[in-house]
Amino acid sequence: MTTTDDAPTPPTPPTQTAPPLTPYVDAYEQTMRATIALGHELEEADWDRPTECPGWTVHDQFAHLVGVERAVLADPRPEHPVPDLPHMRNEFAQFTELDVDYRRDRSGPVVLAELEETLDRRLAVLRDPALTEESMLLGPFGMRPARLTLGVRVFDIWAHGEDVRRATGRPADLDSAAAGVAVRWIRRALAKVIGTDAGLPEGSTVVIEVVGPHGFADAVRVGAEGRGERLSEVPVDPTVRLTLGTEAFTRRACGRWSVEATPVEVTGDAAAGQAVLTALTITP
């Protein structure tokens, strides 16, 4: 007879942990370092070039990144009066403008050095092995799960890096991990864009196809009460199909390109296509 002491020890069940945050942190670091490297390439005149982000120069783009990253590190915000400027359309614009205007009297290289120092501090937080996708992490919109907070940050940093690239004649960064995060983040919003914001009648089906890096074809049907319903298969004959490149898709979604300036092929209901493209801007 086997005694209790002789009985085999049952295996220890595997520890259930939330998914690691590493891919998000990697994309964050990649796009931040790429933007900093771009800053080191700039000539003195480049810092004052206007960008496609309304009201902001290249210098302002870097100042914005510094301000947001320091805010999510819980640094005290500067006491500085926010000027009343035409491009400030809402409270969030006022929030971001404070840090930008506060740094307008500093040189570009000084602001760039601030960003480098801030990145080192931020990575020390984000590389904590205990941090997972579901850990609560402070972001521009408050405490949210880390995967959401970092998804927004990667999208924002990458988009502003693209503003600088276009303003200074550099090629777009469309193949990177951060660009992939940005595209996926925009795709998350398509059901709302098509189902609610575009105002299409119930039963309408819309296909958005992006050709290029991180390309895809997503289909959405407008359901009851204007709810967008993702379709598992792309219909052969949708109400409208919009086909555009990765850069056009992302620049329009960021509000940088107007509907008229966005190169897009529309097949089917032209009015529906116009409505979807008009609603596609998802940034504040």
Indicate where the chain has its CATH 1.20.120.450 domain(s).
Answer: 22-183
Among the listed residues 163, 158, 164, the one whose alpha carbon sits nearest the alpha carbon of residue 176: 158
Q: From the centroid of its chain, how far is CA 248? A: 15
Q: Is the pLDDT of residue 41 over 80?
A: yes
Angle at alpha carbon of residue 10, lines to 8 and 14, rounded to 5° = 150
Q: From the centroid of its chain, how far is CA 70? A: 18
pLDDT mean over 70-82: 92
Q: Is the pLDDT of residue 10 over 90?
A: no
Contact assessment for residue 47 and residue 35, using Cβ atoms and an 8 Å cutoff? no
Q: State the pLDDT confidence band at 4, using cuts at 50, 70 and 90.
A: very low
Would the pTM of this model clear 0.85, i.e. be above it?
yes
Q: Is 152 exposed, middle or buried (0-12, 13-18, 19+ CB in 10 A)?
A: middle
Q: Which CATH architecture has domain 189-279?
A: 2-Layer Sandwich (3.30)
Helix residue ranges, H only, 9-53? 22-41
Among the listed residues 50, 164, 39, the one whose alpha carbon sits nearest the alpha carbon of residue 111: 39
DSSP bridge pairs for 132: 20
DSSP bridge pairs for 208: 218, 242
Indicate where the chain has its CATH 3.30.1050.10 domain(s).
Answer: 189-279
More confident site: 9 or 237: 237
Q: Which fold has domain 22-183?
A: Four Helix Bundle (Hemerythrin (Met), subunit A) (1.20.120)
User: What pLDDT score does 96 carry?
Assistant: 87
Q: Is 279 exposed, middle or buried (0-12, 13-18, 19+ CB in 10 A)?
A: buried
Tokens standing for residue 216: 């895809």
Give Dmax over CA atoms of the chain in angstroms: 88
Q: Report helix, strand or coil for 102.
A: helix
pLDDT tens digits for range 167-225: 999 999 999 999 999 999 999 999 999 999 999 999 999 999 999 999 999 999 999 98
Among the listed residues 275, 284, 282, 281, the one whose alpha carbon sits nearest the alpha carbon of residue 258: 281
Q: State the pLDDT confidence band at 17, using cuts at 50, 70 and 90.
A: low
Q: Is the pLDDT of residue 5 over 80?
A: no
pLDDT tens digits for range 119-141: 999 999 999 999 999 999 999 88
DSSP character string of 118-146: HHHHHHHHHT-TT-BTTSEEEETTEEEEH
